[in-house]
Structure 1
Amino acid sequence: MTTTLALAARLRELDDAALVGALHRRAYRRTGVSDFFDLADALLDADSVQRALVPLDRPRLATVVVLGRAPEPLSAEEVAARLAAEPATAGIAVDAVTAALEDLTGLLLAQPADGDPRRFAVYDAVTAQLDAWADLGIPSPDELLRTAPPPALAPVPDTERRFTDRLAAERAFEAVTAVSELLAELAREGARRLQKGGVALPAIKRLAEAMSVDAELVPVALSAAERAGLAAVDDGMWLPTDRAASWSHAPTPERWRALATAWLEALPDDVRSLLALRSRAAWGESLREHVAWLHPAAVEEAQERVDAHTRLADWLGITAHQAPSTAGAALVEQGPEAAAAAMAELFPAEVDRVYLQHDLTIVSPGPLAPEVETRLRGIADLESRALASTFRLSAASVDRALTAGETADGIREFLSSISLTGLPQPLDYLVTDAAERHGRVRVREAEGTDGARSAVRSADGTLLRTIQVDQALGSLRLSQGGDGELLSRFPRDVVFWALSDARYPVVAEDAGGREVILRRQRVARARAEAVEDRDAELVARLRTAEEEAGDDTGERWLARQLDLAVRSRSPIVIEVAMPDGRVVDYLLEPTGVGGGRLRGRDRAADIERTLPLSSVRGVRPAP
């Protein structure tokens, strides 16, 4: 029998790191736990055991059934032999059983046998809980063993795979594009995260418009970006991370690989193994049917978990209509490198030349090379994004580029270098005019000036009056200062960005009147959050209690062992020191402790024995 006594002894012997790690995987009551016996009681409570059993897959549950029915501990080879004869686990490998035994041991549902760590047994409370499943409407132990898995599906035919690959490549390209636009928009203006975890509806609409997708796809793209480490929440705002900049400059296949890698790494081990086995077959309803068989005690939860991963896979082009693409199959079978190579063959070639048109639009005949697109987006506004994208140059976009550090000559040189149609005259005039207008409004620090912290200056009085009455700038509380000057109680940088967002030709100055380039800090910074570890605190408290007990620890441990054995009527082996110095083992079923003596029935001799507690040297669970 493997009882609470055995678990208490095991918990006491585990090192702190192993014990805390095991407790992290269990749900149990912490109230009233003052020693390792109380902790063992809590872990073997019916509710705690049920919570640990429900998420397990069928092979692990079947392993529990086999161990629970065995009269003695079994090795992995013996468990595998018994499982191989059952329809549910026919042909199971010893390695798979070994992994299951390690997992069950780590969950504190089973433990190695005394004296032979290669053999295992489950705790009696675990077997009892599993036996009660039929009354709870959950498959019984017999059903767990006898229900065979659903039949495997035929692989997707090669003729269908060609269409699947074409559609998957389109979706993959669209996904990369959507995440790119998402990060660009978050860099321009972050999105506030709601307390319940979602994003506010106005932000969803703004992001959807920037990404050119339906609103329901924004959370999908945000999830993909977060998993890839490209977006994170900082101070309640969704913002791009430091990694987003290098990702945005990478070729399209490399960007897709990062998203696909994050998807793969987020898969739980059981789901990854399942998808790898079905990498050539459809992942639709048949996969949900198999998941229902694999997790018989948590069907809906398991299906929802898998559905979340397969929906994202379809959006990323890993599958198309739930059929794995060539790249998707390579991803789960061989890894991201092979998948990216397969997908790269299907992506359209990138271009580094565009058409500059007289109406100030810029048309790319294909996906732009990242380094070209990044700089072009700093100069022009994106109007439409597809395989052939359209940008528009305007006075505001050129002014924005000049504010960011570009020069008029640099803009002309860049546009000429990527143009297939030369530099149209209207475009040249626009750049010249914007450069002449740039800097007509200047913002500097103004400390000590009637409480003002910044000053806005311009030689154009009409422009200055327009700024003062602009309702979009009302929050700056601009007031008239000296000649050609407005004052604000807000810092220079705040005033500068407000004027820039309102599309005024503004520059920032330092105290000496020199132009300075300001950059918005719209990057999420990693912050270590203090997380309370209640399991570690509990283990530390139990260890401290034992240390404070000092020399009494051994006596208290013995007393608790005997008390637990008496209450549970569990057979135990008592080690008794004899007058001649020998230590004799007695297999007893204890009936009481009192007056310094232990009473119990000796099973071997079939007699009642009374033993002095002073002679008891140790107690261990009966084999």
Structure 2
Amino acid sequence: MATTFADQLRSLPDDALGALIQLRPDLVVPVPADISALAVRAQSRNSVARCLDGLDEFTLLILDAARLSRATDTALTSVDAVLTLTDGVDPEDVKAAIERLRVRFLLHGPPEALQVVGAVDEVTSPYPAGLGRPADFLDPAAGALCADRAKLRRTVLAAPAAARAVLDRLAVGPPIGALSRTAIDTAEPVRWLVDQHILVPVSEAGRAPRPDGELVELPREVGMLLRRDTGPLGALRPFPPLPDAPVRDRKAADSAGAGQVMEAVRATEAILEALAAEAAPVLRAGGLGVRDLKRLAKAAGVDEPGAALLIEIAYASGLLGESEVNARSTNGAAQDVFLPTGAYDLWRATGVATRWATLVRSWLAMTRQPGLVGRRDERDRPINPLAPDAERAGAPQARREALDALADLEQGAAPSVDDLLALLAWQTPRRSRGREVAHRDAYFGAALLGVTGLNAVTSYSRLLLADPEADETDPLGLHPAEAPADAVRALDVMLPAPVDHLLVQADLTVVVPGPPEPELAADLDAVAEPESAGGASVFRVTPASVRRALDIGYRADDLHTLFRRRSRTPVPQTLTYLIDDTARKHGGLRSGSAGSYLRSDDEALLTEVLGDKRLIPVDLRRIAPTVLVSPRPVARLLGALRDAGYAPVAEDAGGTMVLTRPKARRAPSRTPRIAEPLGPPLLAGPRLAGVVEQLRRGDIATRAARRAPVTVRAAQGQAVPGLTAVQQHSQAMAVLQQAVRDKVKVWVGYVDSHGATLSRLVKPVSISAGYLRAEDERGESLHTFALHRITAAVTEE
């Protein structure tokens, strides 16, 4: 079989062999030595299982039909035999499925004598199409009953209602059932079916008898009789079940998606800012606590599953990391906390579209399944964000499968999640089985990130999801085309342009009619408190926010200029008064180290502070009419005064005000984890042609070594039948000189630079300076052999 299989591969033209490699790229990872090795790999269990995982439901059923229709003596089938099992389906659809199996070499041979690759039976169900084994194989009595078709029909029709229900259940597949001794209601019908030889008791190979009952199997002939309405293979669907989904207008879907993009970027930024303000501790078992998740979800204005997804993406993107704090726990161990990394500052300085592309690419590649957050693990413990329990190696592939299935639908199609799962179950039933939860997570994650709008894949997301086309000018694939750049440009057009102005209201609210420019956003963070976010952000100017701006170095004139220059509406008088009043009070009190001191030119103000009961904990006392001192540190004194409503400013030893911007806390930068490629690389163009050429050359060299003359093999130390004298070196030189004159081909045995003995069929061109120059067997290249390394030379017969 292996020789016949290898010969069939060897006889393929280069384009057909290249098509096989494209359909089954794992066959050339690494590249086999020759086509015989390729044939062995193509029949291996792992390669066949990988190939079957990519086939659709209809093609797999046609493969089952080929398995069912094999002759008992030759194990061969034919196209006509398969067509007899697919009555009611267009024969052209069946032949197309057979051709898909043949080009993948799961079926091989001529149409009248097809053979199923042996590993198919090893990696698939022992019951093709859910049908049992032949009756004569299971039991002679059952075989005799099934041989009489009329009697079999009468027996089945005479079955009691309960027994018929058992038959209908087993006919759907699998054909194996367990007869439990405790199930009284089913024991009697099954016993009747066994007594009538419609069901056959079987045992599990290599196992002891089942303690809870025996196994019974429905013979193949009975199953096919019960499937007379649907056909021997059951319901056949040659084409995918396209969902009856609404079709969204492209602009409407893109607009909805772009709005969700802005919301996802804003929520991610809000979560990271909340962590920068108050770091979240890392749990002992790893991950983020439930209370911190709720706090971050509230800060970002999203639900907890959405916050968990954004936290996982931020960590995968390298925007979030772990850092060790100075505080020590009671047992002396350092406490780790989650903080934004330095990469967050760079990410925040880029445009919204670029930030979105970074998040989505990390989401597609991360080996995490955020949808598991909040569920219970096998030990009934809740799974937290960033915990090890949410790690899933197959998550990137499941995400890609769901998004590719959505992108393959017509533009604007908006299927439900159940429609998507049904489509995936038809496209790749073997791979999709058990991945339903991951596919659901991908569906809802795409909606949260703006990859889909109104449940339809957006046009800019299609550019991001598209595989880069092979570049013929880059045969090695060192510089693949980058789809994200196109997606970012397409999304930028749909997003509102950043605005450099604001609208100040009489109630001291500030409206920004669009995403603010980075400079304006920095000013607003300093002078106003955010109230709401969205397409138009709303901020509010308060005494505390003005005081914060003054604390970090703004002056009253700077604030007046900022609002006059940025506001498209007249600056209300209340805002001017608020700034002036706060600036007038700002710095009226100054503190230093005494522990700390407090001085002011306003003696009445110091008297008020000294008598304020809220400041008793800082132990203030007057040492001069204009100076108070405290044993507490400056930072504590400033905090107590500000909590009491005063506006003090720190000063240095020379009496100069110390205005500092709060230092942002950041975790050490970390490299994002990139998932391994989803599979072997897809070859095309020059790279594919190079692999095919390498296989051809290796095959020629291997076959040439096998048919080398016995004299050459003996000179190389190989075992040869009978007694053969080793050729002398002078005889080999004479053969080569004569071959140069006669221009004939010669078998040359030689030892290469690594000490390996090889043989090659060449056509000598010249002998000079201790070297033989010769063309190879096909005359495509010129080789040079050192004469002292040649062990034998024999003219081709």
Q: TM above 0.5, one fold?
A: yes
1:195-236 CA-to-partner distances (Å, cap 9, x unmatched) read 455533443343333323334422122233333333333233
TM-score with structure 1 length normalisation? 0.58
1:475-506 CA-to-partner distances (Å, cap 9, x unmatched) read xx745577412233x6x667767876887534
Gaps of 5+ in 1: 1-68, 85-90, 106-110, 447-453, 471-476, 530-578, 587-623
CA distance in 2, matches of 1:521, 1:487: 29
In structure 1, what is the equivalent of residue 456 of structure 2?
323
**1:362 to partner: Cα distance:** 1.4
**1:175 to partner: Cα distance:** 1.4
Would the aligned equivalents of 2:323 and 2:338 in 1 still touch at CA under 8 Å?
Answer: yes
Q: Which residue identity is paired with 1:189?
A: E
Q: CA, structure 1 residues 526+241, in 2 after alignment: closer, same or farther (shift >3 Å)?
A: closer
CA distance in 2, matches of 1:494, 1:136: 77
Write the mapping of 1:121-160 to structure 2, written as runs, cut at 5 A.
Answer: 121=41, 151=240, 153=242, 160=249
1:463 counterpart (568, 591, 609): 609
1:303-336 CA-to-partner distances (Å, cap 9, x unmatched) read 3334333322111111134321122222212622
**1:437 to partner: Cα distance:** 2.3
- With 399-408 and 255-264 compared, the bigger mean Cα shift is at 255-264
Q: Which residue identity is paired with 1:402?
A: L
CA distance in 2, matches of 1:213, 1:510: 44
Would the aligned equivalents of 2:342 and 2:669 in 1 still touch at CA under 8 Å?
Answer: no
Q: CA, structure 1 residues 125+339, in 2 after alignment: closer, same or farther (shift >3 Å)?
A: closer
CA distance in 2, matches of 1:507, 1:72: 91
Gaps of 5+ in 2: 49-117, 133-172, 174-232, 325-335, 367-394, 469-482, 601-605, 673-713, 722-797
Q: CA, structure 1 residues 137+381, in 2 after alignment: closer, same or farther (shift >3 Å)?
A: farther
In structure 2, what is the equivalent of residue 221 of structure 1?
310
Would the aligned equivalents of 2:403 and 2:442 in 1 still touch at CA under 8 Å?
Answer: no
Q: CA, structure 1 residues 582+224, in 2 after alignment: closer, same or farther (shift >3 Å)?
A: closer
Write the mapping of 1:554-569 to structure 2, written as runs, cut at 5 A.
Answer: none
**1:410 to partner: Cα distance:** 1.1
In structure 1, what is the equivalent of residue 443 of structure 2?
310
1:584 counterpart (719, 726, 737): 719
**1:97 to partner: Cα distance:** 3.7
2:559 counterpart (401, 411, 420): 411
1:546-589 CA-to-partner distances (Å, cap 9, x unmatched) read xxxxxxxxxxxxxxxxxxxxxxxxxxxxxxxxx99954389xxx
Q: CA, structure 1 residues 318+97, in 2 after alignment: closer, same or farther (shift >3 Å)?
A: same
- Residues 1:185 and 2:333 aligned together: no
Structure 2 residue matching 1:238: 3-state secondary structure: strand
CA distance in 2, matches of 1:314, 1:378: 33
CA distance in 1, matches of 2:44, 2:656: 80
**1:94 to partner: Cα distance:** 2.7
- Residues 1:251 and 2:395 aligned together: no
Write the mapping of 1:524-563 to structure 2, written as runs, cut at 5 A.
Answer: 524-526=667-669
Would the aligned equivalents of 1:439 and 1:506 in 2 still touch at CA under 8 Å?
Answer: yes
In structure 1, what is the equivalent of residue 264 of structure 2?
175
CA distance in 1, matches of 2:593, 2:650: 9
CA distance in 1, matches of 2:303, 2:397: 32
In structure 1, what is the equivalent of residue 472 of structure 2?
none
In structure 2, what is the equivalent of residue 279 of structure 1?
407
CA distance in 1, matches of 2:5, 2:621: 89
In structure 1, what is the equivalent of residue 785 of structure 2?
none
1:358-392 CA-to-partner distances (Å, cap 9, x unmatched) read 32221223333332122112101011222222211
In structure 2, what is the equivalent of residue 260 of structure 1?
360
**1:397 to partner: Cα distance:** 0.5
CA distance in 1, matches of 2:546, 2:493: 37
1:485 counterpart (610, 629, 635): 629
- Residues 1:212 and 2:301 aligned together: yes
CA distance in 2, matches of 1:379, 1:467: 30
**1:427 to partner: Cα distance:** 0.9
Q: CA, structure 1 residues 114+344, in 2 after alignment: closer, same or farther (shift >3 Å)?
A: closer
Structure 2 residue matching 1:345: 3-state secondary structure: helix
Structure 2 residue matching 1:524: 3-state secondary structure: coil
Q: Which residue identity is paired with 1:353?
A: H
Count of residue correspondences: 439
Q: Which residue identity is paired with 2:22?
A: A
Would the aligned equivalents of 1:260 and 1:336 in 2 still touch at CA under 8 Å?
Answer: no
Q: CA, structure 1 residues 466+580, in 2 after alignment: closer, same or farther (shift >3 Å)?
A: same
**1:400 to partner: Cα distance:** 0.9
1:249-277 CA-to-partner distances (Å, cap 9, x unmatched) read 33333333333343345483675477446
Q: Which residue identity is paired with 1:522?
A: R
In structure 2, what is the equivalent of residue 523 of structure 1?
666
1:395 counterpart (543, 560, 570): 543
**1:398 to partner: Cα distance:** 0.9
CA distance in 1, matches of 2:590, 2:128: 73
2:519 counterpart (361, 371, 379): 371
TM-score with structure 2 length normalisation? 0.47
Would the aligned equivalents of 2:256 and 2:453 in 1 still touch at CA under 8 Å?
Answer: yes
CA distance in 1, matches of 2:243, 2:510: 49
Q: Which residue identity is paired with 2:345?
A: A
Would the aligned equivalents of 1:138 and 1:297 in 2 still touch at CA under 8 Å?
Answer: no
Q: CA, structure 1 residues 271+100, in 2 after alignment: closer, same or farther (shift >3 Å)?
A: farther
Would the aligned equivalents of 1:241 and 1:524 in 2 still touch at CA under 8 Å?
Answer: yes
CA distance in 1, matches of 2:665, 2:8: 54
1:407-450 CA-to-partner distances (Å, cap 9, x unmatched) read 2211111111011223222111111222222234545556xxxx
CA distance in 2, matches of 1:286, 1:466: 69
**1:393 to partner: Cα distance:** 0.9
1:507 counterpart (640, 649, 655): 649
Q: CA, structure 1 residues 498+182, in 2 after alignment: closer, same or farther (shift >3 Å)?
A: farther
CA distance in 2, matches of 1:196, 1:80: 57
Structure 1 residue matching 2:489: 3-state secondary structure: helix
Bigger Rg, which one: 2
Structure 2 residue matching 1:457: 3-state secondary structure: strand
In structure 1, what is the equivalent of residue 98 of structure 2?
none
Would the aligned equivalents of 1:353 and 1:364 in 2 still touch at CA under 8 Å?
Answer: yes
In structure 2, what is the equivalent of residue 161 of structure 1?
250
Q: CA, structure 1 residues 159+521, in 2 after alignment: closer, same or farther (shift >3 Å)?
A: closer
CA distance in 2, matches of 1:134, 1:190: 51
Q: CA, structure 1 residues 396+149, in 2 after alignment: closer, same or farther (shift >3 Å)?
A: farther
- RMSD in angstroms over aligned alpha carbons? 4.7
- With 495-504 and 423-432 compared, the bigger mean Cα shift is at 495-504
CA distance in 2, matches of 1:172, 1:123: 47
Q: Which residue identity is paired with 1:268?
A: P
Q: Which residue identity is paired with 1:337?
A: A
Structure 1 residue matching 2:313: 3-state secondary structure: helix
- With 263-272 and 400-409 compared, the bigger mean Cα shift is at 263-272
Would the aligned equivalents of 2:399 and 2:439 in 1 still touch at CA under 8 Å?
Answer: yes
Would the aligned equivalents of 2:276 and 2:340 in 1 still touch at CA under 8 Å?
Answer: yes
1:428 counterpart (576, 580, 591): 576
% of aligned pairs identical?
Answer: 28
1:13-61 CA-to-partner distances (Å, cap 9, x unmatched) read xxxxxxxxxxxxxxxxxxxxxxxxxxxxxxxxxxxxxxxxxxxxxxxxx
Q: Which residue identity is paired with 2:663?
A: R
1:85-107 CA-to-partner distances (Å, cap 9, x unmatched) read xxxxxx9943434522245x6xx
2:494 counterpart (324, 342, 346): 346
CA distance in 2, matches of 1:585, 1:445: 99
Would the aligned equivalents of 2:318 and 2:670 in 1 still touch at CA under 8 Å?
Answer: no
